[in-house]
Amino acid sequence: MIASSSRLLSSPRPIDAKFILPALTEATDPYWRPIKYSLFPPLGLATLAAYLAPGDHAVIVDEHVEPLTLDDLPDLVVIQAYITNAYRAYRIADHYRSQGAFVCLGGLHVTSLSEEAAMHADAVFLGPGEQTFPRFLEDFRAGRPARLYTSASGRTLERVPPIRRDLIRRNYYLVPNSIVVTRGCPQHCDFCYKDAFFQGGRGFYTQRVDDALAEIERLPGRHLYFLDDHLLGNRRFSEALFDGMKGMRRLFQGAATVDSILRGDLIERAAEAGLRSIFVGFETLTPENLRRSNKRQNLGRDYKAVADRLHSLGIMINGSFVFGMDDDGEDVFRRTVDWAIDHGITTATFHLQTPYPGTQLHARMVREGRMLTRDWSLYDTRHVVYRPAKLKPEALKEGYDWAYREFYRWVSIARASLHHGTLKHQAKHFSYAAGWKKFEPLWDLIIRARQLTRVTPLLEGVLSRVSRGRKEYQIEDVRETFPIISSDAIHSRLAANDGSAQPNRHATS
């Protein structure tokens, strides 16, 4: 079907395009943490914007860091919908359509529930946009865009145009240097978005190493954050990437699976290239849970060996854990938190199991009649949206909140830090975990003052090799970094949050 003609370009003139990432969580939500939503710029949208022609005009608005104004009328509005921002995405889409703009909706949620999204868009896009969006632009310019574009076979990251980083306001983000050099993942966990999103084509593919290295070269400063689902997913690619990065003096963070950390010497190569912190999907300590969720790559693996190996290389661990899998009973929270603290995990991301539409897990839960709600705004891994097998929903929620509080108590952070052999490593762990979770009001202040880029040297200091002296966040460090903020303001902000052994005000990741 062809879209309504009132929304089409009347002649082949340059396109005025607005790319929007609607807020995932409203600032009024108890789980709102400004710093969490000021971490990364919307890379997906900057990737799509690269397909516009040189004469076109583009702007990217990320609602997490700036207000979205709706009094304009671009030719084209491109909106990215994750599940929890879907309703907001639809409201924005409806508004622009009512004004006569042509609205495109794409992203994870749109791919899972395209019929729902289609009610609010002129064109919907399934899967990654590197093949479909340029095809759409051609059709749009020719005045005959389709209603549905599906990414299928032939997906590649070769010869893609450089991401439009010029459209990103770097000083609005703590980590403006985020980067993805692969798409997808070689694994097939039943709760993951991946298989549904990449349906019909390759589920894991990489950039050319040269292109990835060139993109890295383009990024200023030292710190990088690889947002890839699995940075060690293709051994040959990762080996070449890390070899190429040696000597670049970069410090970076990324994500990988437990088996890839134990296999071969890839992790040593990564450490040598500058890997200092890694997100690891431990998910559960119970083998039956792993089996049921098809997380085979974790089965029979020695989690302690994973932690020990990473620590021996000076790499901090952000452990991911899921609560509410079918074998989880009342004891799961204490067991998991104790394990994480006892094994020196620096930061933990706890999730309530969330059956996302389109996943195998969701299909099973529907078959078993266990889904409790279709309110997508609750699908943020902090609300119980299905009936757990061995726990009451309230007990699951309480246990989750308790786990966050317990893991991030000052005494727990100190205990986990003491796991490391050297004072320097302990200080590094302590300052990273405390900096992330214990200084919320200070982060708030820094974000409001638009001074996030000034934190980068501090972050780089904490991520540097375990070789320097004092590493803890001190008032003096903060004052040096932010001369515009008075020391009284810093003291009172820190005091406001100084619950000492009290749990953190925000009980979220």
**Of ligand SF4, ligand B12, none, which one does residue 439 interact with (CB within 5 to 8 Å by kind)?**
none
Query: Applying CB under 6 A, which of residues 192, 361, 427, 433 lies at the interface with ligand SF4?
Result: 192
CA atoms within 13 A on the CB side of 384: 19
Q: Site residues (CB under 6 A) for ligand B12?
A: 24-25, 36-37, 39-44, 47-48, 78, 80, 82-84, 104-108, 125, 128-130, 132-133, 180, 192-193, 227-229, 351, 356, 380-381, 509
**Of ligand B12, ligand SF4, none, which one does residue 40 interact with (CB within 5 to 8 Å by kind)?**
ligand B12
Structural tokens at position 404: 């966050």
Min dist CB 254 to ligand SF4, Å, is 12
- What one-letter code names the amino acid at 349? T
Site for ligand SF4 in 218-247 (CB under 6 A): 229-230
3-state secondary structure of 279: strand
Backbone angles phi, psi at 138, to 5 degrees: -60, -45
Query: Applying CB under 6 A, which of residues 44, 127, 176, 281 lies at the interface with ligand SF4?
Result: 281
**Of ligand SF4, ligand B12, none, which one does residue 108 interact with (CB within 5 to 8 Å by kind)?**
ligand B12
**Of ligand SF4, ligand B12, none, which one does residue 281 interact with (CB within 5 to 8 Å by kind)?**
ligand SF4
Cβ nearer to ligand B12, comparing 43 with 389? 43
Min dist CB 467 to ligand B12, Å, is 29
Measured CA to CA, the distance from residue 509 to residue 506 in angstroms comes to: 9
Is residue 118 within 8 Å of 124, Cβ to Cβ? yes
Is residue 461 within 8 Å of 471, Cβ to Cβ? yes
Is residue 471 within 8 Å of 417, Cβ to Cβ? no
Cβ nearer to ligand SF4, comparing 192 with 466? 192
Q: How is residue 371 annotated by DSSP?
A: B
- Does residue 15 interact with ligand SF4 by CB under 6 A? no
Cβ nearer to ligand B12, comparing 107 with 324? 107
| DSSP string of 321-365, one letter each residue | EEE--TT--TTHHHHHHHHHHHTT-SEEEEEE----TTSHHHHHH
Is residue 248 within 8 Å of 272, Cβ to Cβ? no
Structural tokens at position 92: 């924005």
Site for ligand SF4 in 126-185 (CB under 6 A): 185
Q: How is residue 14 annotated by DSSP?
A: P
Min dist CB 289 to ligand SF4, Å, is 13
Min dist CB 136 to ligand B12, Å, is 7
- Does residue 293 interact with ligand SF4 by CB under 6 A? no
Cβ nearer to ligand SF4, comparing 99 with 360? 360
**Of ligand B12, ligand SF4, none, which one does residue 187 interact with (CB within 5 to 8 Å by kind)?**
ligand SF4
Cβ nearer to ligand SF4, comparing 61 with 385? 385
Is residue 262 within 8 Å of 301, Cβ to Cβ? yes
Min dist CB 482 to ligand SF4, Å, is 36
**Of ligand B12, ligand SF4, none, which one does residue 180 interact with (CB within 5 to 8 Å by kind)?**
ligand B12
- Does residue 332 interact with ligand SF4 by CB under 6 A? no
User: What is the distance of C-alpha 24 from the center of its chain?
Assistant: 12
Opening angle at CA 254, ends 167 and 430, nearest 5: 110
**Of ligand SF4, ligand B12, none, which one does residue 356 interact with (CB within 5 to 8 Å by kind)?**
ligand B12
**DSSP percent split of the chain into helix, strand, coil, nearest 5:** 40, 15, 45
What is the longest distance spanned by two Cα atoms in the chain?
A: 68
Cβ nearer to ligand B12, comparing 231 with 485? 231
Cβ nearer to ligand B12, comparing 328 with 380? 380
Measured CA to CA, the distance from residue 264 to residue 238 in angstroms comes to: 12
Using the rule CB under 6 A, give the single segment among 28-36, 187-195, 214-222, 423-431 that binds ligand SF4.
187-195
Measured CA to CA, the distance from residue 293 to residue 356 in angstroms comes to: 13
Query: Applying CB under 6 A, which of residues 183, 194, 397, 419 lies at the interface with ligand SF4?
Result: 194
Structural tokens at position 33: 């943490």
Cβ nearer to ligand SF4, comparing 185 with 273? 185
| CA nearest neighbour of 380 among 115, 37, 13 | 37
**Of ligand B12, ligand SF4, none, which one does residue 219 interact with (CB within 5 to 8 Å by kind)?**
none
Min dist CB 151 to ligand B12, Å, is 8
- Does residue 187 interact with ligand SF4 by CB under 6 A? yes
Structural tokens at position 369: 């009649």
3-state secondary structure of 394: helix
CA atoms within 13 A on the CB side of 402: 16
Residues that bind ligand SF4 (CB under 6 A): 185, 187-189, 192, 194, 229-230, 257, 281
